[in-house]
Amino acid sequence: MNDARRAATPGGTGLGREWREDLLLLPAVIVAAAVVGIPILRVVQLSLSRVELDGGLKIAWNGLGQFVRLWQDGRWWIALRNTTEFTVLSIVCEMALGVAGALLLHRSFRGRGAARALVVLPWALPTAVMSLGWAWIFNDAFGVMNDLLLRIGVLDHPVAWLGRPDTAMAAMVVADVWKTTPFVTLVVLAGLQGISVEVQEAAALDGLTGGQRLRHIVLPLLRPALLVALVFRIIQAFGAFDVVYVMTGGGPGGSTETVSLYAYKNYFRYLDFAYGSAVAVQSVLLVGLVTAALMRLSSGSRGTR
C-alpha cells in the first residue's frame, strides 16, 4: 500500500516520476516542432497562394491554382518520369546488391570486422563529394571510365557519358547505387542478426538446401528489415537532389531533371515561390501515397499468411 502511494505521488518512483521526466522533454519537443513544422506550414501556404514581387513580397490566396498549373505542366511530367525511372532503377539494384552483401557479411570469415567497416565508407561520404568524384570518373575527356574501357577494348572511342540522355541517367544510377547500397546492407544485416541459428539448423536437418532455406526461411523472416530499407530508399531516391545537381544539373536537355531539382529551379532561379512550393508538396504527397500503399500491402500479406 505504501509503495502504491509513493508511486502515485510526484516524488515517487512510478507514474509520477515518469510524468515529470516527460515534462522535462516538453521544451525540446516544442522547439523541434516549431523548427520543423513552421517551414512545412509555410510551404503549404505558399502552394495555395499566388506570390507577386511588386515592390515587395505580396501573397494572395489562389486555392488549387498552382496544382492545376502543375498538372498541366509538361516539364513537371517529364521530371516525374525521370524521378520515377531513377528511383526504380536505383532501388532494384540496391536491394539486390544489399541483400547479397548482407548475406556475405553475415558469414564467418577472417577479416569480417574490417569488411563491415569498409562497407560503410561510401555511405559515410557526403553525397555532393561522392557525386563530384563520379562526375570526374565519367568525364568524356579525362575520366577513368573511358580510359579503362578503351584499354580493355570495350570502346574504340571516348563516350560522353554525362552528355547523352541514355548514359547520363545510367551514370547517376551507378553513383547512387555505389553510395546507398551500404545502407541497405546494414539494415538487412541487422535483420539477419535477429534470425535464430536454430531455425536454420532445423531447416537444414529437414533436408532444405541453401537456396531453399534462403527462399522459404531467411527472406520471409527478413521482410520487416527489407520493408524498412525499401521505404527509406524510396523516400531518399525520390527526393534525390545532390547527385543530380552535381553530376548533370538536369541535363542534357532536361533528360535527368528530377522533381526536387525542378522545385529548386522554380524557387531560386525563376523566383516562382508558389509554384516551387506546389511542386514540393505534390512530391511529398506522391511519396506518402506510395509508402502507405507499401505498408498496406505488407500488412495485408502478413495477415493472409
SS3 of 18-46: the string is HHHHHHHCHHHHHHHHHHHHHHHHHHHHH
Q: For residues 32 and 80, state if they share a domain.
A: no
Name the residue with cell 553475415.
Answer: 106
Q: For residues 9 and 79, state if they share a domain.
A: no
One-letter-per-residue 3-state SS of 171-215: HHHHHHHHHHHHHHHHHHHHHHHCCCHHHHHHHHHCCCCHHHHHH
pLDDT value for 304: 53
Q: For residues 36 and 155, state if they share a domain.
A: no
Q: What is the mean pLDDT of residues 213-235?
A: 84
- Peptide bond between residue 252 and the one before it cis (omega within 30 degrees of 0): yes
Q: For residues 24 and 130, state if they share a domain.
A: no
Q: Is residue 69 part of a domain?
A: no
Confidence of residue 133 (pLDDT cuts 50, 70, 90): very high
Provide the b/e sequence for 8-39 (b: ≥16 CB within 10 Å).
Answer: eeeebeeeeeeeeeeeeeeeeeeeeeeeeeee
Query: CA–CA separation, 145 vs 140, rounded Å?
Result: 8
Query: CA–CA separation, 265 vs 257, rounded Å?
Result: 10
DSSP class of 134: H
CATH code (residue 299)? 1.10.3720.10
pTM, to two decimals? 0.84
The three three-digit cell numbers of residue 105, written as one number: 557479411
Confidence of residue 135 (pLDDT cuts 50, 70, 90): very high
Burial status of residue 133 (CB atoms within 10 A of its CB: 0-12, 13-18, 19 or more): middle
Please give the distance of CA 203 from its chain centroid, rounded to a whole number: 35
- Spatial contact of 122 and 130, defined as CB atoms under 8 Å apart: yes
Q: Which residue has the higher pLDDT, 166 or 162?
A: 162
Confidence of residue 297 (pLDDT cuts 50, 70, 90): confident
Q: Is residue 47 part of a domain?
A: no
Q: For residues 103 and 26, state if they share a domain.
A: no
Query: CA–CA separation, 274 vs 115, rounded Å?
Result: 48
Q: Is residue 68 part of a domain?
A: no
pLDDT value for 300: 61
Beta bridge partners of 59: 51
Query: Under 8 Å CB-to-CB from 91, ≥6 apart: which residues?
Result: 230, 233, 234, 237
Q: For residues 27 and 85, state if they share a domain.
A: no
> Structurally, how many domains does the chain consist of?
2
167-190 per-position pLDDT tens digit: 999 999 999 999 999 999 999 998
The three three-digit cell numbers of residue 133, written as one number: 568524384
Asked if residue 62 has pLDDT above 90, the reply is no
C-alpha closest to that of 283 among 238, 243, 244, 249:
238
Query: Under 8 Å CB-to-CB from 188, ≥6 apart: which residues?
Result: 98, 99, 101, 102, 222, 225, 226, 229
26-49 per-position pLDDT tens digit: 888 888 888 888 888 888 888 888
Q: Is residue 55 part of a domain?
A: no
Q: For residues 156 and 270, state if they share a domain.
A: yes
Query: CA–CA separation, 48 vs 9, rounded Å?
Result: 50
- Spatial contact of 275 and 264, defined as CB atoms under 8 Å apart: no
Confidence of residue 7 (pLDDT cuts 50, 70, 90): very low
What does pLDDT average to over the chain?
84
Q: For residues 240 and 117, state if they share a domain.
A: yes
Query: CA–CA separation, 7 vs 82, rounded Å?
Result: 59
Q: For residues 138 and 245, state if they share a domain.
A: yes
Asked if residue 6 has pLDDT above 60, the reply is no
Q: For residues 11 and 157, state if they share a domain.
A: no
Range of the domain at 255: 74-303
Query: CA–CA separation, 82 vs 49, rounded Å?
Result: 27
Q: Is residue 190 part of a domain?
A: yes
Please give the distance of CA 132 from its chain centroid, rounded to a whole number: 19
Q: Which residue has the higher pLDDT, 58 or 2?
A: 58
One-letter amino acid at 36 equals V
Query: CA–CA separation, 179 vs 124, rounded Å?
Result: 9
